[in-house]
Amino acid sequence: DTRGYLFAIDLEHGKVLWEKQLHSKMVTALTSLSGALAASGDWTGKIVLWRTSDGTELGNFQQHRDRITSLLNIETPVTEALDPPRPTLISASRDGTVRLWYPTQNRLVRFSDLHQPVTALVPLQALEILAATASGEVCILDLATTKTLQAFDSQLHHVAAMEVFNDSIIAISGEGENRLIQLPK
């Protein structure tokens, strides 16, 4: 919530199982790393790794200089590309960076700077992801090399969210505009 609290709710019975304040500011992103672990990001750029059963904080790290806009857990096939395989977390922020983490080690592996606020992430294959920016640009990033493989204009003023279906991207502005974009070959 806006105060930095996380809540676990039993959906079947509508009961709160636990609540914990793991952040000092608003929680802005959340992802499951496995059935037992999750990560959340906040307005200040802090990422917290926690146990889903009781909300116990297992670690935190802060490399971003602005709010976290997206967290992405890529267990397959990304971890197969890493030797040895391990939990992998990708974070994006309004500071313009996309970062690859080994969260259970609280370790930043590498990052890519897009020099403009990053608003959404979508996995493609191995360590390749789509990153959308506040200006409407969509980039294909290779996090193995931290290089931008390709960048193209979504023709939206702002990309708030996106998803890949077959060979197309559905991009949403959050301002009533949507675009279906063919993925470049």
Residue 84: the pLDDT is 56
What's the chain's average pLDDT? 89
Residue 182: the pLDDT is 80
Percent of the chain predicted with pLDDT > 70: 93
Residue 181: the pLDDT is 84
Q: What is the pTM of this model?
A: 0.88
Structure confidence by residue, pLDDT tens digits, 48-101: 999 999 999 999 999 999 999 999 998 644 444 555 556 789 999 999 999 999
Segment 131-150 mean pLDDT: 92
Segment 8-22 mean pLDDT: 95
Looking at the predicted structure, is the pLDDT value of residue 175 above 50? Answer: yes
Looking at the predicted structure, is the pLDDT value of residue 159 above 70? Answer: yes
Residue 105: the pLDDT is 84
Residue 31: partners with Cβ closer than 8 Å, 6 or more residues away? 38, 39, 40, 71, 72, 73, 89
Structure confidence by residue, pLDDT tens digits, 20-31: 999 999 999 999
Segment 150-166 mean pLDDT: 89
How are beta strands 118-125 and 107-113 bridged, if at all? unpaired
Of 16 and 74, the structure prediction assigns the larger pLDDT to 16
